[in-house]
Structure 1
Amino acid sequence: MTQNDIPTPDQDAEATLESQLRDEIEALRGEIEQLRADSLRERADLENQRKRVARDVEQARRFANERLLGELLPVFDSLDAGLAAAGDQTGPLKDGMELTYRQLLKVAADNGLAVVDPVGQPFNPEHHQAISQADPAGAAPGSVLQVFQKGYLLNDRLLRPALVVVARHD
């Protein structure tokens, strides 16, 4: 062994310092990667929360008038009953009731309300409530024969089911 092969204390200190610096650089790189991953996770969480809030706001907007429209349903029922009682009569009173009814329905429809009046359609338990069955001639089994009370949907969500009479199955 020669004198040049033996490390000097300065070379030992330099090698140790270099090793410590490499270890510290690797530790810092690991921390940076962890912080980058945390940042991406936080961004994703924030984006998901933003979408959730936007969805909740949209739902609240679509159904904000649900209570008001629900309270107007008896008014629709009364106008329906009045027009049915007027039958074939003509005159300014019936004309005024029909006009009022059409205007009220238009305003309600503009706010997302749709009438469920299923006469002749197949019974749908999601939108209809059967109150009795009957055996009429010529009607398809399971079809709606008569509507006692119209149902209503608010933006495709059931506000009130239609009360119906259903054709009995043979």
Structure 2
Amino acid sequence: MSTEQQKPPVEETDVAVEAEASPDVEVELSEPQGLEADIARLEAELQQAKDTALRAAAEAQNARRRAEQDVEKAHKFGQEKLVQDMLVVADNLERALANVNADDEAMKSVAEGLELTLKSLIDGLKRHQVVQINPVGEPFDPNLHQAMTQVPNPDMEPNTVMDVFQKGYTLHGRLVRPAMVVVSKAP
């Protein structure tokens, strides 16, 4: 037998392959309008399947991006509780330093030790993106400051920070503790 005799005609093969490839689709060659309707329906289903797949891929990408952002925030702000605890130590060192009599020769070395310890602590916090807020002379900002009291002062503009009871701090730009301040008001 030659190869020409073994191969069925091309038209018969195409119809047989189409029928085998999609058994759910009925192929009616006698009605061209029915085929056009089937083609339109199948194209619509294909478009809908493509749209669904595209939406699923976009949702997966968004979920991956949200997870990455959550991990980044956890790394960035996971140390916030530790920073808050360390701020208590810094406050205590500042209070101790303020109450040491530096005129007394015996206390002078204690004051120097407290200053060096406080500086070392603040420098360590700075290395981890903890920034001190000491807003004396700046306009009052309720996002960064907590007003403890208002005092009339003709020498300063109203709503200007006159004094700081307790310094505030931010971690990577996010407020950890507001500065507790005295604010000027018009006399």
Q: Is 1:73 paired with 2:87?
A: yes
- What is the aligned partner in structure 1 of residue 112 from structure 2? 95
Runs (4+) of structure 1 exceeding 6 A deviation are none
Amino acid across the alignment from 1:129: Q
Q: 1: CA distance between counterparts of 2:147 and 2:51? A: 57
Deviation at residue 14 of structure 1 after TM alignment: 4.5
Q: C-alpha deviations, 1:22-71, integer Å up to 9, x for none?
A: 44444332222221111111111111111111121111111100111111
Higher mean C-alpha deviation, range 96-105 or range 20-29: 20-29
Q: Give unpaired runs (5+ residues) of structure 1.
A: 1-12
- What is the aligned partner in structure 2 of residue 30 from structure 1? 44
1:114 aligned to 126, 131, 141, which one? 131
- What is the aligned partner in structure 2 of residue 155 from structure 1? 172
- What is the aligned partner in structure 2 of residue 58 from structure 1? 72
Residue 88 and residue 143 in structure 1: after superposition, are their counterparts in 2 closer, same or farther (change >3 A)? farther
Deviation at residue 76 of structure 1 after TM alignment: 0.9
Deviation at residue 88 of structure 1 after TM alignment: 4.6
Amino acid across the alignment from 2:30: A
Q: TM-score, normalised by structure 2?
A: 0.74
Q: RMSD of the alignment, in Å?
A: 2.2
Q: Give the secondary structure class of the aligned counterpart of 1:141.
A: coil
Higher mean C-alpha deviation, range 43-52 or range 83-92: 83-92
Higher mean C-alpha deviation, range 145-154 or range 22-31: 22-31
Q: 1: CA distance between counterparts of 2:170 and 2:115? A: 22
Deviation at residue 75 of structure 1 after TM alignment: 0.7
2:159 aligned to 133, 142, 146, which one? 142
Q: 1: CA distance between counterparts of 2:101 and 2:35? A: 96
Q: 1: CA distance between counterparts of 2:74 and 2:57? A: 25
Identity of paired residues, percent? 36
Q: Give the secondary structure class of the aligned counterpart of 1:35.
A: helix
Q: Give unpaired runs (5+ residues) of structure 2.
A: 1-27
Q: TM-score, normalised by structure 1?
A: 0.80
Q: 1: CA distance between counterparts of 2:182 and 2:48? A: 66
Q: Give the secondary structure class of the aligned counterpart of 1:15.
A: coil
Deviation at residue 168 of structure 1 after TM alignment: 1.8
2:30 aligned to 4, 12, 15, which one? 15
Instruction: Select the structure with the greater relative contact order (CA < 8 A; seq sep ≥ 6).
Output: 1
